[in-house]
Copies of this chain bind each other. A is one copy, B any other.
Amino acid sequence: MRIVVLAGGIGGARFLRGLKRAVPDADITVIGNTGDDIHLFGLKVCPDLDTVMYTLGDGIDEERGWGRTDESFRLKEELAAYGVGPGWFGLGDRDFATHIVRTQMLAAGYPLSAVTEALCDRWQPGVRLIPMTDDRVETHVAVTLPDDDPAAGPSAGPGAGSGAGETPPGSGVRKVIHFQEYWVRLRASVPAEAVVPVGAEQAKPAPGVLEAIAAADVILFPPSNPVVSIGTILAVPGIREAIAEAGVPVVGLSPIVGDRPVRGMADKVLAAVGVESTAWAVAEHYGSGLLDGWLVDTVDAAGVERIEEAGIRCRAVPLMMSDADATARMAREALALAEEVRAV
C-alpha cells in the first residue's frame, strides 16, 4: 500500500511513528512542511523535517518532542556570550551538526530535497521524506506587539516621540514576524492577525511530491496544524490540486479535541484564517473538495453529523497520541475510514 502523508512537526512525526507500527510494510512518502524553516546563525534550520527525521530515526528527545536526545547547549551559550542571537530558539550541540551539514550541501548547490535524502541516509526513518518544495517559503505572522516587547522597537516606548505614521503609545506596534518568532519566542501570546506563507505562490513542489501523490493509494492528514503545517504545504501551487484529483481516499485526523488543540497552539493561527477551534470547523476549512474522511475524537462525537452533512465521512474515535499503541490504533482507524470511503 502506498500512503502519502502531509506532515508538520511533532504531531505529524508522532502520527507517522504510529502509522509505521500499524502498517509496517506500507510504502510511506512524507511531504514535509518547510514553511517554518529559518536561517539562524547563517545556518539553514528545517524544524519540521528534522522532527520527522529524528522521531522516526530514534534520535528525538521524547520529552521535548523536538531536537536530539541526550542534548547539550554549550555552543548556544557561547553564541550568547558573543552577543549573537536569537537566544529564544533552542539549538543543541548535537542538533547543530544537522544544520551545518545541510547548509554546507545547500551552499554546494544541492536542492533541499537531495539534502534531506542525504541526511535521511543516516537516520533511516523508514519513510521517504520529501520537503514540500525546494524553493524558499517562509511563514510570516502579522501581530500587534505590546509596547514593552523587546521587538517592538525603541520608538514604541512610553515617552517616545509619536511622529506621523507611528502607532500611538499604549496601543502596541504592528509587525510582521517570522513564524518561529511568533511560536517560540512569543509562545503565540498575542493574536495572529494574519498568517502568510511568503514565497509559496512562486514555489514549485519538490521533485517526487506530485509523483508520490499521483501514485498514492491513500492520502493522510495527520493531526498537524491545519494552518501553518498542512495549510502551508497545500499553499504550494499544484499540491492541493494533485491531492484533490488523485482519485484516492483523503483522510484527516482532527488536531482539535474538545475545542482545544491536542498540543501546540493551533487555535491561535486558526483564528487568523477565520476558522473556529473545533473539529468540525477544521474539517469544513479543508472542505469536501479535498477531504473524503475525517476522524474526530470521541469527545467531539456530537459534531459527526454536521461534518457528514458537509459531505465528509466522519468517525469519532480516541485521538490522543498517548503512546505508540494508541497512535497505531488511530492510524488503523484512518486507514479503515479510507477503505470505507473507497468502497462507496
Contact = CB atoms under 8 A, between A and B. Distances in A.
Contact of A97 (B78, B94, B100): B78
Interface string A88-129: 000001101110110110010000000000010110000000
Interface in A35-57: 41-43
Contacts of A81: 97, 122
Nearest to A81: B122
Contacts of A78: 94, 96-98
Contacts of A74: 72, 93-94
Determine the main DSSP class of A at the interface with B: helix
A79 interface: yes
A84 interface: yes
A72 to B, nearest CB: 6
A75 interface: yes
A100 B79 contact: yes
B104 A75 contact: no
Given A72-B93, A103-B42, A104-B41, A122 B83 contact: yes
**Max chain B CB contacts within 10 Å: which of A84, A103, A119?**
A84
Nearest to A97: B78
A75 B96 contact: yes
A122 B42 contact: no
Interface string A68-80: 0000101110110
Nearest to A118: B82
Contacts of A94: 74-75, 78
A217 to B, nearest CB: 33
Nearest to A43: B100
Contacts of A84: 97, 100-101, 104
Contact of A96 (B96, B101, B104, B122): B96
A46 to B, nearest CB: 15
Contacts of A101: 41, 79, 82, 84
Given A41-B100, A79-B97, 11 more contacts: A42-B100, A42-B104, A43-B100, A72-B93, A74-B94, A75-B75, A75-B100, A78-B94, A78-B98, A84-B101, A96-B96
19 contacts: A41-B100, A42-B100, A42-B104, A72-B72, A74-B94, A75-B94, A75-B96, A75-B100, A76-B97, A78-B94, A78-B96, A79-B101, A81-B122, A82-B97, A82-B119, A82-B122, A83-B121, A93-B93, A96-B96
Q: Which 9 A-B pairs have the closest CB atoms?
A: A78-B97, A42-B104, A93-B93, A74-B93, A79-B97, A78-B94, A82-B101, A41-B100, A75-B93
